[in-house]
């Protein structure tokens, strides 16, 4: 791992990657989609390890062994803990709860396994907006709060458990009950290519865009990429291997 990148890690934060979803729009868990020859989860782990020195992956029991297999194929310098949802299919709030229960650090940064381009500068910028009362620091992008690109303090655990116990399954459901700091897009404009950080893969269109985004740009800059419908006609979503 690049030494400078490691020195820049947010050492007082645990990164949490949610990788337990069914991926209904792509046919299987998005962690196992391949971009080129690399699993999407592996790309996310490689990127996040440049930002954080402690990572938790939350997945389902049925995918646990495959996640471990991806982890074991990576260099030993990647410090990753894989844990399981206690109740599969209950949504991202449970994933956050599981991580809050086991993390030894004060703060968590929560992201999805389908977000391969998270920007280190933007992450540090958002975290820098916290104050002494903050329990969550959440960016607002294109008018919407982004709970899967946000920081959560360990003190959120009690409120999140109460909301979950009342049958709520969305992370935003406990926001009214904690001290929320918001990173507005007008502030994020100072970070070059901040849009890229929020890109996530939901379908074949997004996957094709991501493959093109991985190609080097002639000027080293992020360029918004759009795919024509005609370009999609002969494309197929890569199948996940059986083992």
Binding residues for Mg(2+): 114
- Tokens 């969305």 belong to 170
**H or E segment to which residue 161 belongs:** helix 157-165
Residues 233 and 236: their CA atoms lie apart, in Å, by 8
Q: What 3-state class would DSSP assign to 17?
A: strand
Query: DSSP state, 48?
Result: H
List the binding residues for GTP.
Answer: 18-20, 30, 85, 114
Residues 223 and 217: their CA atoms lie apart, in Å, by 8
Taking a C-beta distance cutoff of 8 angstroms, is the pair 131, 113 a contact?
Answer: no
- Tokens 């985004």 belong to 213
Read out DSSP for 51-110? Answer: T-S-EEEEE-GGGHHHHHHHHHTS-TT--EEEEE-SSTTS-HHHHHHHHHHH--SSEEEE
List the binding residues.
Answer: 18-20, 30, 85, 114
Residues 4 and 49: their CA atoms lie apart, in Å, by 12
Query: DSSP state, 40?
Result: H
User: Cα angle at 196 between 133 and 51, to 5 degrees?
Assistant: 55
């Amino acid at each position: 791992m690049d030494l400078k990148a490691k020195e820049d890690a947010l050492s007082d934060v645990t990164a949490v990657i949610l990788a337990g979803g069914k991926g209904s729009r792509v046919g299987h868990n998005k962690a196992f989609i391949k971009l080129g020859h690399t699993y999407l989860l592996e790309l996310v782990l490689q990127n996040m390890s440049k930002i954080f020195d402690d990572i938790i992956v939350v997945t389902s029991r049925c995918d646990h062994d495959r996640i471990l297999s991806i982890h074991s194929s990576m260099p030993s310098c990647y410090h990753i803990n894989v844990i399981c949802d206690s109740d599969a299919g209950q949504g991202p709030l449970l994933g956050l709860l599981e991580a809050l229960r086991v993390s030894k650090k004060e703060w968590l940064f929560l992201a999805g396994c389908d977000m391969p381009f998270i920007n280190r500068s933007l992450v540090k910028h958002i975290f820098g907006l916290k104050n002494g009362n903050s329990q969550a620091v959440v960016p607002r992008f294109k008018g919407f709060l982004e709970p899967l690109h946000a920081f959560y303090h360990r003190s959120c655990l009690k409120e999140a458990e109460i909301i979950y116990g009342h049958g709520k399954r969305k992370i935003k459901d406990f926001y009214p009950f904690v001290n929320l700091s918001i990173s507005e897009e007008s502030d994020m404009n100072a970070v070059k290519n901040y849009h890229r950080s929020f890109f996530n893969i939901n379908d074949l269109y997004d996957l094709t865009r991501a493959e093109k985004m991985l190609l080097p740009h002639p000027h080293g800059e992020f360029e918004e990429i759009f795919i024509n419908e005609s370009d999609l006609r002969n494309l197929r979503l890569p199948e996940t291997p059986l083992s």
